[in-house]
């Protein structure tokens, strides 16, 4: 089996696919890519299944040694200093560009800019052992592959050979970057919306909020004007990725992919599915706003995003280049 | 009381019900299309759907029809009974005195009252395999700590409000810790991964430090 080795993990690098669903009644949260849009597109550009596992890197990327040949694609936020080295020459690795890499080469991703997460997608995907049906890492509960450390080796799956590799075209790239850098997040009423006053509902969309330094895969704390919360305490109920809890100090907390399955603070609103990838790319100290939309508008935004993803051509194996049965 | 439906996003419904367990079973067995996950909480169940093709009226009709069909069927799975050995040694029980003081009882009386009832797993949440057990003796109801500990050992047994439970992982936690179980409560590579299931019953059995060490060795 082909392998890559982590030479240096960067700030926080994990294995992620699109998440682990169907086990929440056991207390197992979804995890998965913080920016699922970029993961899906990076995989598409390689001819992978959209759910194939990749390396999620946060703010500062990893250094990786290739023990075998592979085709890679960086997806998501930009990594302007990313370079491939074969020992004698270096060449840049641009984002959204499938690139063949020879065994013995190394990749240094370096700083991640214009967003907070970049994905290293690999042909065949990362083939670590699935746990409860997924290869995603839930960092707080340690379900799934361990957070990557120096010298961790990762197996790669069977690649699709002979595909015609092309970078993402400029027009789609602009469309996708617009989705990922969106700073007005659309919301619909959340699970405890009816416990909040009209004033609170209006307050959430009336001002800008700043992403605090306490922003990670589990949740994004916001600072800004306080919102009146219901007095009575509530018992723990199910929560959702993108749910906006109002904590007792009146600040919004957006629950994210490494959230628990239940929570004890009231949820005023939920960020729509189509805007979750933008949460995965937001950086500390950036400002965001919220905007109420209807459920039908939210679903229409999802359909539009689905169409954008489907419009990125999937490379198909050429007739003569396809490999025989898996060895 | 029939369950009431409220959309909690464009892709999820909150179902308020006085029997979340039965509601969860009915939904799991329903075979309704597009369900990603079903999550029971206190007094409610959340159903999360794939966004593609969702329509308010269609989903609400399907769920109402489902609950009419299943109202008389109820929960058909047999709950399991578990006995969890717990060592209440002071080394594992930093808050046993606090609970005793709050209740006006001695440490021994707290242990006695904690091991007497048969508890029910009412909700699993917070972290993988963490069961909120109901049935705690009234005198032992104790508010959670003002500021949570940042890291507590796996297996810690605690009390918060009207619930007791055991932490499967080493996590942050604000419950009053009164003992520790040597048993593994969650292992994602086991089938089933969680020792406790919703609706199961649990008793605590006091053990000494030697028994704790012996039982820990197998882990």
Contact criterion met (CB below 8 Å) for A277 and A145: no
If you average pLDDT over every residue of chain B, what do you get? Answer: 93
CB pairs under 8 A between A and B: 138
Which residue would you say has higher pLDDT here, A64 or A161?
Answer: A64
Helices (DSSP H) in B71-184: which residue ranges? 96-103, 107-115
Contact A237 B42 (CB under 8 A): yes
Low-confidence ranges of chain B (pLDDT < 70): 1, 71-76, 218-219
Q: Is the dihedral of CA A23, A24, A26, A31 positive or negative?
A: positive
* Per-residue pLDDT tens over the stretch B34-65: 999 999 999 999 999 999 989 999 999 999 99
Residues of A in contact with B40 (CB under 8 A): 25, 238
Hey, is the C-beta of A24 within 8 angstroms of any chain B C-beta? Answer: yes
**Pseudo-torsion of CA A267, A269, A275, A279, nearest 10°?**
-40
Candidates A188, A235, A260; nearest CB to B9: A188
CA dihedral B41, B44, B48, B54 (to 10 degrees): 180
Enter the pTM of the model. Answer: 0.94
Give the whole-angstrom CA distance, residue A15 versus residue A139. 10
Is residue A318 over pLDDT 80? no
Q: Which residue has the tokens 């197992």?
A: A28
Dump pLDDT digits (tens) for A3-59.
999 999 999 999 999 999 999 999 999 999 999 999 999 999 999 999 999 999 999
Q: Which domains does chain B have, with CATH numbers?
A: 4-70 (3.30.1360.40), 81-217 (2.40.100.10)
Mutate to test the interface with B, among A191, A233, A298 (most CBs of B within 10 A): A191
Using CA coordinates, name the residue in chain A closest to B25: A25
Q: How many CA atoms lie within 13 A of B28 on its CB side?
A: 18
Contact A24, A170 (CB under 8 A): no
Burial of A198 (0-12, 13-18, 19+ CB in 10 A): exposed
Q: How far apart are CA A238 and CA B11, in angstroms?
A: 14
pLDDT at position B75? 58
**All structural domains of chain A:** 3-167 (no CATH), 180-309 (2.40.100.10)
Distance of alpha carbon A269 from alpha carbon A244, whole angstroms: 5
- 3-state secondary structure (DSSP) of residue B138: helix
Confidence of residue A326 (pLDDT cuts 50, 70, 90): very low
Write the Ramachandran bin of A91: left for phi over 0, alpha for psi from -120 to 50, otherwise beta.
Answer: beta
A141 and B9 within 8 Å at the Cβ level: the answer is no
Q: Which of A246, A305, A249, A250 lies closest to A272 in space, CA to CA? A: A305
């Amino acid at each position: 089996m082909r392998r890559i080795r982590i030479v240096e993990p960067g700030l926080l690098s994990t294995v992620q696919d699109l998440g682990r669903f169907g086990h929440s009644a056991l207390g197992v949260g979804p995890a998965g890519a913080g920016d699922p849009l970029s993961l899906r597109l990076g995989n598409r550009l390689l001819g992978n299944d959209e759910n194939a596992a990749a390396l999620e890197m946060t703010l500062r990327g990893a250094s990786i040694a290739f023990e075998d040949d592979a085709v890679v694609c960086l997806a998501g936020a930009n990594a302007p200093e990313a370079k491939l080295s074969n020992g004698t020459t270096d060449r840049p690795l641009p984002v959204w560009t499938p690139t063949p890499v020879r065994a013995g080469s190394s990749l240094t991703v370096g700083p991640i800019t214009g967003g907070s997460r970049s994905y290293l997608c690999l042909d065949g995907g990362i083939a670590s052992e699935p746990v409860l049906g997924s290869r995603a890492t839930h960092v707080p509960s340690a379900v799934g592959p361990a957070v990557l450390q120096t010298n961790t080796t990762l197996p790669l799956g069977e690649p699709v050979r002979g595909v015609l590799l092309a970078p993402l075209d400029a027009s789609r790239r602009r469309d996708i970057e617009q989705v990922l850098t969106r700073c007005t997040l659309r919301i619909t009423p959340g699970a405890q919306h009816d416990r909040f006053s009209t004033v609170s509902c209006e307050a959430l969309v009336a001002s800008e909020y700043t992403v605090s330094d306490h922003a990670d895969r589990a949740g994004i704390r916001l600072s800004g004007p306080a919102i009146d919360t219901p007095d009575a305490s509530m018992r723990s109920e199910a929560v959702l990725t993108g749910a906006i809890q109002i904590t007792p100090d009146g600040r919004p907390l957006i629950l994210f992919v490494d959230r628990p399955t239940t929570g004890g603070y009231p949820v005023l609103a939920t960020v729509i599915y189509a805007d979750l990838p933008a949460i995965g790319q937001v950086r500390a100290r950036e400002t965001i706003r919220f905007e109420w939309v209807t459920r039908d508008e939210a679903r229409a935004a999802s359909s539009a995003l689905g169409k954008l993803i489907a419009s990125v051509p999937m490379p198909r194996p050429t007739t003569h280049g396809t490999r025989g049965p898996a060895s | 009381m029939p369950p009431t439906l409220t959309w909690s996003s464009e892709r999820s419904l909150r179902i308020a019900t006085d029997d979340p367990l039965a509601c969860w079973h009915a939904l799991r067995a329903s075979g309704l299309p597009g369900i990603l996950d079903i999550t029971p909480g206190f007094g409610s169940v959340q159903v999360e759907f794939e966004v593609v093709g969702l329509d308010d009226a269609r989903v609400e009709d399907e769920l109402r029809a489902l609950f009419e069909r299943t109202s008389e069927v109820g929960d058909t799975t047999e709950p399991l009974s578990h006995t969890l050995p717990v060592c209440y040694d002071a080394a594992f029980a930093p808050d046993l005195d606090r609970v005793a003081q709050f209740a006006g009882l001695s440490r021994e009386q707290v242990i006695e009252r904690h091991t007497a009832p048969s508890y029910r797993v009412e909700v699993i949440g917070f972290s993988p395999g963490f069961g909120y057990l109901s049935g705690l003796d009234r005198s032992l109801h104790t508010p959670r700590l003002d500021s949570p500990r940042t890291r507590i050992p796996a297996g810690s047994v605690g009390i918060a409000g009207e619930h007791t439970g055991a932490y499967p992982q080493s996590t942050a936690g604000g419950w009053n810790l009164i003992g520790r179980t040597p048993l593994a409560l969650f292992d994602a590579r086991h089938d089933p991964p969680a020792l406790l299931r919703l609706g199961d019953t649990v008793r605590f059995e006091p053990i000494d430090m030697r028994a704790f060490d012996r039982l820990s060795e197998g882990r």
